[in-house]
Amino acid sequence: MKKIIAVLGISAALLFAGFANAEVKLGVINVESVLERMPQRESVRKMLKNEFEARANSLQEEEKKSKEAIARLKKDGLTLSSSEKAKLNKVISDFESKADAFSVDYQKRQKEEAEKLFTKIQEAVKDIVATEGYDVILSAGATLFASDAVDISDKVLEKVKN
Domain chopping of the chain, boundaries: 23-161
Q: Provide the pLDDT confidence category of residue 21 given band limits of 50, 70 and 90.
A: low
Q: Does the reported pTM lie above 0.85?
A: no
pLDDT over 60 (residue 2):
no
Answer whether CATH 3.30.910.20 is correct for domain 23-161. yes
Calculate the dihedral angle through the C-alpha atoms of 75, 78, 83, 87, rounding to the nearest 10 degrees: 20
pLDDT over 50 (residue 11):
no
pLDDT over 70 (residue 9):
no
pLDDT over 90 (residue 141):
no
Contacts of residue 70, defined as CB under 8 A and 6 or more positions apart, other chains included, come to 88, 92
Query: pLDDT exceeding 70 applies to what percent of the chain?
Result: 86
Calculate the dihedral angle through the C-alpha atoms of 90, 96, 99, 100, rounding to the nearest 10 degrees: -120
The pLDDT value given to residue 49: 95
